[in-house]
Amino acid sequence: MEKIALFYLAKPKYGGWVTFTSHLLKSFQKLNIPVFLFKIGNKTESKQRHFNDDVNYQNVDIKTAINISKNFQTIITAQDKNYLQITDELLKNNANLIVHDPTEMKLELIETIKKNNIKPITIRKINCDNLNELGIDSNFIQHPYIRYNKTKHKKNDLAVATSRLDFDKHTEIIVEANLKLSHKIKIYGAENRLYTYFKLKKIDEHWDKNYFGKFSNHPGNIYNILNPHKYMIDMSAIKKDGGGSQYTFLEAWDSGCIVVLNKKWNINSDDTMKANINCLFVNDSEDLVNLLQKNEQYESIIQNGYKELQYFEGKKVAEIYLKVM
């Protein structure tokens, strides 16, 4: 049986890249395929280290990584500029590369992709178009998702945000809304301290009264946060990106939350996120305040969101990967 090696070639320990890598690994496991996760270290270690949830990884040196890529079906699940050299080496051995969003489409990576004549995989349709504009063909495959929630919970709390706190996540819209809301939006997630200091603190010096820190990446913890809340707020807006899914959306659907998004994410009406069908969109903090104060019933949106998860079912997505690789 073919063995699969996943390489996480990036620094971040939290966020979508990490979540994606965990779900993809578990999705291959659903097919009973031997799958292993590696990171690059100064030396090859025999021990396993904790990555995320119940997923572990092994540190390997560059020479070992190259040998693995010659003998395994290899997927680079995330990469940043610090790992461009090893990315190039693995692509020479026909590794598959995931491109998550346009912020990764820097000249150096684009040249590396073209030089190795590979067809990267994107997780939102629009990024196939973005790569095509740069002269690169790609395959779109939706996010793999392993469902966790099995039981319904009472929605005793109003709203929560679980994204990173960063410029492209536009947490400032949530902080502005909290200045006017009596029932505050609870904010969780890893913070970019430059962003929180120079952006959020200027809006509200005490914004962090509603900030509960980054949540631990142990199994089920995100759902313990989401379950009691009626709304999940995600104000992400990335230049030349949108329309499709992010893990915050999928986790919220799985927890029976109403997903509320930034209108700037709604770039394509026939894409995954459909206004007033499986999510709601707001233009700004004023819209967000009005929506939460009205606090209407959106049972069909909750049901549609939960049904949407079947499209991302891990086993199905892993089978698509096997056909593409």
- φ, ψ for residue 167 (rounded to 5)? -60, -45
pLDDT at 151: 66
pLDDT at 270: 62
Residues 42 and 99 in one domain: yes
- Give the closest residue to 219 by CA, choosing from 10, 23, 15: 23
pLDDT, averaged per 10 consecutive residues of the chain (325 residues), comes to 92 91 97 97 94 93 97 97 95 97 94 97 95 96 88 84 96 98 96 96 97 84 93 95 94 96 86 93 98 94 95 97 94
In a domain, 145, yes or no: no
Residues 125 and 186 in one domain: no
pLDDT at 150: 62
HSE (CB half, 13 Å, CA atoms) of 9?
30
- Cβ–Cβ < 8 Å for 231, 262: no
d(CA 120, CA 128): 9
Record the tokens describing residue 148, joined without a space. Answer: 């966790």
CB atoms closer than 10 angstroms to residue 194? 10
d(CA 299, CA 278): 10
- Cβ–Cβ < 8 Å for 35, 68: no
d(CA 178, CA 207): 8
Domain of residue 199: give its range. 157-311
Residues 300 and 161 in one domain: yes
Residues 278 and 172 in one domain: yes
Residues 6 or more apart whose Cβ sits within 8 Å of residue 278: 253, 259, 301, 304, 305, 308
Domain CATH code at residue 101: 3.40.50.2000
**Domain total for the chain?**
2
Residues 172 and 307 in one domain: yes
